[in-house]
């Protein structure tokens, strides 16, 4: 079942992010809970989860970004696409991306974009099969104070 995250999902989402690139779950802090409240209450920030047998096993984030170009139409940015290692290859992340696409369409977005740090051909083909391409734009990243 795919849906948007709810307030009580924080612990499971942080556990799932260990399958993404996190090395540990952040310690409980005022900063963590404040950030979570911002995410949950931001109408442009959609944290999408896919649940199997009552457990969150896949997720992605879809952020709608207001824009002054393209007839003042927003665009969607996809981030943190992840599926628990034990559940990969079952189409669960594809379902999350499809849900994100619906959100983008409902918000009149003119495009969706995502970045991946993966060089794995299987991962790149996954995004291509989901309708994304790597030929229209060139991405550059500048890291700031990695912590």
SS (H, E, C) 31-84: HHHHHHHHHHHCCCEEEEEEEECCEEEEEEEEEEECCCCCCCCCEEEEEEEEEC
Mean pLDDT value of segment 92-117? 97
Predicted confidence at residue 4, as pLDDT, reads 98
Predicted confidence at residue 147, as pLDDT, reads 62
pTM metric for this prediction = 0.94
**What are the tens digits of pLDDT across the range 45-57?**
999 999 999 999 9
**Gap between the Cα atoms of 29 and 105, Å rounded:** 36
- Of the pLDDT bands very low, low, confident and very high (cuts 50, 70, 90), residue 20 is very high
- Of the pLDDT bands very low, low, confident and very high (cuts 50, 70, 90), residue 145 is confident
Q: What is the mean pLDDT of the chain?
A: 96
């Amino acid at each position: 079942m795919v849906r948007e995250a709810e307030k009580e999902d924080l612990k499971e989402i942080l556990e799932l992010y260990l399958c993404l690139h996190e090395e540990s779950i952040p310690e409980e802090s005022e900063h963590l809970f404040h950030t979570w409240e911002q995410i949950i209450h931001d109408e442009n920030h959609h944290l999408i989860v896919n649940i199997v047998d009552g457990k969150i096993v896949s997720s992605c984030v879809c952020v709608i970004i207001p824009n002054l170009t393209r007839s003042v139409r927003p665009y969607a940015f996809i981030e943190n696409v992840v599926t628990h290692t034990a559940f990969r290859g079952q189409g669960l992340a594809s379902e999350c991306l499809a849900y994100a696409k619906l959100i983008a369409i409902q918000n009149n977005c003119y495009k969706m974009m995502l970045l991946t740090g993966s060089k794995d051909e299987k991962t790149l083909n996954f995004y291509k099969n989901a309708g994304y391409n790597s030929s229209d734009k060139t991405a550059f990243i500048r890291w700031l104070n990695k912590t």
